[in-house]
């Protein structure tokens, strides 16, 4: 239940799919959950450098994970860094914004 609550907290206020939170909690990928939680907390607190670092760490682990790409895009958008945010939004749509940690393919882009 604790992992489920943490996963929901990470996604609170973000435009990701709700079912992804449940799938994320069930995946057991505690490192990603911890990084996403830290990133969201930093983002809410206005610590954008910390949020960028944590989302980037997630993407080093799961290079094509849509939720981290989307959330990192949101941080850049909040900073009005649109040239950085738009490519991340596009990648997130391509890779699945509602994708859970188990479905991330570890960096293999299909067809690219």
Which pLDDT tens digit goes with each residue over 67-90?
999 999 999 999 999 999 999 999
Name the more confident of 101 and 41. 41
Which pLDDT band holds residue 98 (cuts at 50, 70, 90)? confident
DSSP one-letter string for 79-101: TT-HHHHHHHHHHHHHH-TT--G
Q: Is the pLDDT of residue 19 over 60?
A: no
User: Helices (DSSP H) in 1-81: which residue ranges?
Assistant: 2-11, 18-27, 30-44, 48-61, 66-78
Q: Is the pLDDT of residue 36 over 80?
A: yes
Phi, psi of 110 (to 5 degrees): -75, 130
Determine what percent of the chain is predicted with pLDDT higher than 90. 57
* Predicted pLDDT of residue 101: 58
CB atoms under 10 Å from CB of 111, counted, come to 4
Q: Sketch out the chain's domains with CATH numbers.
A: 2-103 (1.25.40.10)
Q: Is the pLDDT of residue 11 over 70?
A: no
Determine what percent of the chain is predicted with pLDDT higher than 70. 62
């Amino acid at each position: 239940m604790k992992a489920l609550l943490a996963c929901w907290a990470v996604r609170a206020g973000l435009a990701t799919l709700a079912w992804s939170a449940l799938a994320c909690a069930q995946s057991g990928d505690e490192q990603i959950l911890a990084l996403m939680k830290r990133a969201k907390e930093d983002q809410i607190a206005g610590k954008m450098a910390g949020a960028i670092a944590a989302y980037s760490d997630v993407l080093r682990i799961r290079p094509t994970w849509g939720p981290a790409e989307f959330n990192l895009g949101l941080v850049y958008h909040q900073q009005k860094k649109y040239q950085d945010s738009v490519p991340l939004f596009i990648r997130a749509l391509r890779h699945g914004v509602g994708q859970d940690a188990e479905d991330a393919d570890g960096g293999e882009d299909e067809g690219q």
